Structure formats: structure tokens, C-alpha cells
Amino acid sequence: MGRILNDDEAVRLIFRASNRAKYPWHDWLNGEYWYLIEGTDYFGTTKAFRERCYRMQGQHGKLSVFVMDDGVILKKETDGDRS
């Protein structure tokens, strides 16, 4: 018998079925610090998301990723960030 899903369960299952996340990289990589929460802002493990962020550097330039208990802090570095 089927069951009712809450929004979080539905999003996770749809993500797994599509095997491709559509993240708002353009928003996240605007030069501001973003606190992204695992299971809310991105799916999969924090380790896997961190690795994906570093792979995005080829397209978007240098990124800083700081792992927190429940997610990551992400920032695209700009020329003004470097001393």
C-alpha cells in the first residue's frame, strides 16, 4: 500500500530517481558567504557535496568550502578576497 510523503521525503526520492541535482549555483556563487544545510539545500553527504563544489571551480573559479556539523559554508572568492 502507498504512503503519504512529507516534502523532505519527496524531494529526496525525486532527487535519487533523477540522479541529478539542479542547484542554484548562480545564486550561491555571487561572492557572498552561504550556509548550506545538508538535506535542505543539497542532497547526499556533505563530503560528496564538498567534492562537487571543488569540481565546480573549473567553471566558476576558486571556491572556499568550510565543513560544518550540519552542512557547509560556501563562498566564491573574488579578486578582492586575495591579499
Instruction: Let me know: does 65 contact 74? Beta carbons within 8 Å.
Output: yes
Percent of the chain with pLDDT over 90: 58
Pairwise pLDDT comparison (19 vs 37), residue with the higher score? 37
**CA distance linking residue 64 with residue 76, whole number of Å:** 6
> Would you say residue 62 lies in a domain?
yes
52: in domain: yes
Q: What is the pTM of this model?
A: 0.71
**Mean pLDDT, the chain, whole residue set:** 87
Task: Evaluate if residue 18 carries a pLDDT over 70.
Answer: no
Number of domains forming the structure of the chain: 1
Q: Which domain holds residue 64?
A: 23-81
Cβ neighbours, 10 Å, residue 42: 22
Residue 9 in domain: no
Q: Cβ(74)–Cβ(28) under 8 Å? A: yes
How big is the chain by its Cα radius of gyration, in Å? 15
Q: Does residue 82 carry a pLDDT above 60?
A: no
pLDDT in tens, 21-34: 578 898 999 999 99
Q: What does the pLDDT read at residue 33? A: 98
